[in-house]
């Protein structure tokens, strides 16, 4: 059996959690939490990092911070996870889904530009598979129209675009530490605040809308309700686990890249034979091997290949069903411009097993089974 994913345990997580318990403080923004936000602020680097219960929560914070609401439009790819859209639909905004570039499955800047109206308030980009979007073009469009840019970098920690960390280029960025992501703690996330003007409000939002973080720092003598907010804190138990993963981020990254490169090298002859297509990493993007996917010729072929691999004990999986085609997607938004690639490409995409520590023999087996399927 080769599962699609296995949670990453790099070693030392249990001890860190034990240490958190021994210290006797388990709520958010404790010693381990501080260690993680310091790591993010130094390593990315970033103006301000805030640990959240999930990337979903961090995305909700971005919608609150940008004050997007009813009557406003938000542009994002249809090819993304539901949380990207939910965060803004929850605020009453209208979602404008746009097309992607089939090479990367990332949002197409030209489609964004064409979707801008006087009501547009924000652009939310998604760095699919941890491969950076064309941020220069996106920031240029945003600047020209005075729009917020939020990077859903859920999959993108340790990736860069022209030398800059994903999540640090727009006004706000978000990461996920869900067990399916490269660096994890079960459930968890982070908000990256790149616009210094948003830092104070971000801290208030995280603390249920109070200025408690200023109180903790001794800046004020009592804390009060200042703004909208929620409980957007990550437990110290999760932060303890996460701290170990971040400490070994380079090791995890290298291990994943090794697997990714092995898939790419191994499957290249199938691309040359015209059977599949392989992911493209554009110049200027350094990726983190979050995902290895292939594209086959049709949805039907994909279903057949999934079944074939499953018989051999290999779990390969599809990915997003475009949001504009879903029940809630139709209710809260609509596709803007032509759907030239989103639907067709999403139906061809198949993700292969990739996790920290996957055996290279297993990777070779997966490659071999795919060759067998195509009788090459
Ligand atoms: C995983 C993911 C999310 C959600 O992350 P959670 O931490 O599970 O909330 C959001 N957006 C994208 C693009 C993701 O891949």
What domain range includes position 19?
Answer: 13-247
Q: What length does the chain have?
A: 376
Question: What's the confidence (pLDDT) of residue 166?
Answer: 99
Q: Residues 65, 189: one domain?
A: yes
148-152 and 120-126 beta bridge pairing: parallel
CA–centroid distance, 182 to ligand 1, in Å, is: 12
Of 207, 222, 247, the one marking the end of a domain is 247
Which residue is closest in CA terms to ligand 1's atom 2?
Answer: 154
Burial-class residue 230 by CB neighbours within 10 Å (0-12, 13-18, 19+): middle
Sheet holding 160-161, edge to edge: 164-165, 160-161, 285-286
Q: Residues 254, 114: one domain?
A: no
Q: Nearest CA to 169 among 205, 144, 137? A: 137
Chain-centre distance for alpha carbon 192:
12
For residue 247, the surrounding DSSP H or E stretch is: helix 236-247
> How wide is the angle at C-alpha 36 spanned by C-alphas 166 and 41, nearest 5°?
45
Question: What's the confidence (pLDDT) of residue 376?
Answer: 82
CATH of residue 137: 3.40.640.10
Q: Residues 100, 131: one domain?
A: yes
Task: Give percent of the chain above pLDDT 90.
Answer: 100
Number of neighbouring beta carbons within 10 Å of residue 197: 9
Query: Does a structural domain hold residue 4?
Result: no
CA–centroid distance, 216 to ligand 1, in Å, is: 30
Query: Does a structural domain hold residue 2?
Result: no
Write out pLDDT tens, residues 205-227.
999 999 999 999 999 999 999 99
For residue 258, the surrounding DSSP H or E stretch is: helix 249-272
Q: Which residues line ligand 1 (CB under 6 A)?
A: 54-56, 80-81, 83-84, 126, 152, 154-155, 176, 178, 189
Query: To which residue do tokens 């982070």 refer?
Result: 190
CA–centroid distance, 57 to ligand 1, in Å, is: 10
Query: Does a structural domain hold residue 6?
Result: no
Write out pLDDT tens, residues 309-358.
999 999 999 999 999 999 999 999 999 999 999 999 999 999 999 999 99
Query: Does a structural domain hold residue 168?
Result: yes
Q: Residues 257, 357: one domain?
A: yes
Q: Residues 239, 344: one domain?
A: no
Query: Does a structural domain hold residue 23?
Result: yes
Write out pLDDT tens, residues 86-121.
999 999 999 999 999 999 999 999 999 999 999 999
Domain count for the chain, please give it. 2
Of 218, 247, 276, the one marking the end of a domain is 247
Query: To which residue do tokens 């020209």 refer?
Result: 144
CATH of residue 260: 3.90.1150.10
> How wide is the angle at C-alpha 137 spanned by C-alphas 148 and 79, nearest 5°?
70
Of 219, 247, 275, the one marking the end of a domain is 247
Query: Does a structural domain hold residue 3?
Result: no
């Amino acid at each position: 059996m080769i599962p699609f994913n296995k949670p990453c345990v790099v070693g030392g997580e249990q001890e860190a959690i034990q240490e958190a318990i021994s210290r006797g403080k388990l709520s958010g923004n404790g010693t381990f939490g501080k260690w993680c936000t310091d790591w993010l602020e130094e390593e990315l680097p970033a103006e301000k990092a805030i640990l959240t219960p999930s990337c979903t929560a961090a995305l909700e914070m971005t919608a609150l911070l940008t004050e997007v609401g009813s009557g406003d439009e938000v542009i994002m790819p249809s090819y993304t996870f539901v949380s990207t859209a939910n965060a803004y639909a929850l605020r009453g905004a209208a979602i404008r889904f746009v097309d992607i570039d089939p090479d990367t499955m990332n949002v197409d800047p030209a489609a964004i530009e064409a979707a801008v109206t006087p009501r547009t308030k924000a652009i939310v980009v998604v760095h699919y598979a941890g491969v950076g979007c064309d941020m220069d073009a996106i920031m240029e469009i945003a600047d020209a129209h005075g729009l917020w840019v939020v990077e859903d970098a859920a999959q993108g920690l340790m990736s860069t675009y022209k030398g800059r960390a994903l999540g640090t280029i727009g006004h706000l960025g978000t990461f996920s530490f869900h067990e399916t992501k490269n660096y994890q703690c079960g459930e968890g996330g982070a908000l990256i605040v790149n616009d210094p003007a948003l830092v104070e409000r971000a801290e208030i939002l995280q603390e249920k809308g109070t200025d408690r973080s200023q109180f903790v720092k001794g800046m004020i003598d009592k804390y009060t309700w200042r703004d909208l907010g929620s409980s957007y804190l990550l437990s110290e138990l999760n932060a303890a686990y996460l701290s170990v993963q971040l400490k070994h981020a380079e090791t995890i990254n290298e291990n994943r890249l090794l697997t990714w490169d092995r898939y790419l090298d191994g499957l290249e002859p199938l691309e040359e034979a015209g059977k599949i297509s392989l992911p493209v990493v554009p110049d200027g993007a350094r990726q983190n091997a979050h995902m290895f996917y292939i594209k086959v010729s049709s949805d039907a072929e994909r279903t057949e290949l999934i079944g074939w691999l499953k018989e051999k004990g290999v779990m390969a999986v599809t990915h997003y069903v475009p949001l504009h085609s879903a029940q809630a997607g139709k209710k809260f938004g609509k596709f803007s411009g032509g759907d030239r690639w989103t639907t067709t490409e999403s139906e061809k995409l198949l993700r292969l097993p990739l996790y920290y520590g996957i055996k290279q023999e297993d990777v070779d087996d997966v490659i071999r089974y795919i060759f067998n399927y195509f009788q090459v």
